[in-house]
Amino acid sequence: MHTIMLKAKLHMARVTHAVLNYEGSCAIDGDLLDLAGIRENEQIQIYNVENGQRFTTYAIRGEEGSRIISVNGAAAHLASVGDRVIICSYAHYSEAELDDHQPALVYLQQGNAVSHTSHAIPVQLA
């Protein structure tokens, strides 16, 4: 039996481009992809903090060091330049893998610079 778990997250990325007339997908700075362990063509979920839109697409590699987050194709209707988004990928893990599983969490600040990384989401306090 396998369980779907969070694999990686880019937290509070800023959309730098929204390109309607493109084949689709989301271009992400290659350095950010590598840091998060997200592969090119991997399915991703994007959660738009500004407008509540949630959508599925796939990652494509953007220029390394560019800090690009480009929402393309039909999804460009769901995000605007400057919007804060959370980009997540998920994977199937066996029961044996669950004990040691830790997602790659990359926290971004202004300009999509990396603030810090982690492998555990903080406990939410009441």
Residues 83-123 have pLDDT tens digits of 999 999 999 999 999 999 999 999 999 999 999 999 998 89
Two tokens at 1? 């039996």
CA-CA-CA-CA dihedral for 62, 59, 47, 108, to nearest 10: -40
- What's the N-to-C CA distance of the chain in angstroms? 33
- From the candidates 58, 90, 93, 107, give the one annotated as an active-site residue: 58
- Distance (Å, whole) CA 119 – CA 11: 13
**24 has a pLDDT exceeding 90:** no
8 Å CB contact between 26 and 124: no
- Distance (Å, whole) CA 108 – CA 57: 20
Question: Is residue 107 flagged as an active site residue?
Answer: no
Q: What is the mean pLDDT of residues 18-37?
A: 95
8 Å CB contact between 45 and 54: yes
Residues 50-59 have pLDDT tens digits of 999 999 999 9
Sequence ranges of the binding site for substrate: 57, 73-75
Residues of 62-75 as b/e, b for ≥16 C-beta within 10 angstroms? beeebbbbbbbbeb
Question: Is residue 25 flagged as an active site residue?
Answer: yes
The predicted structure's pLDDT at residue 23:
80
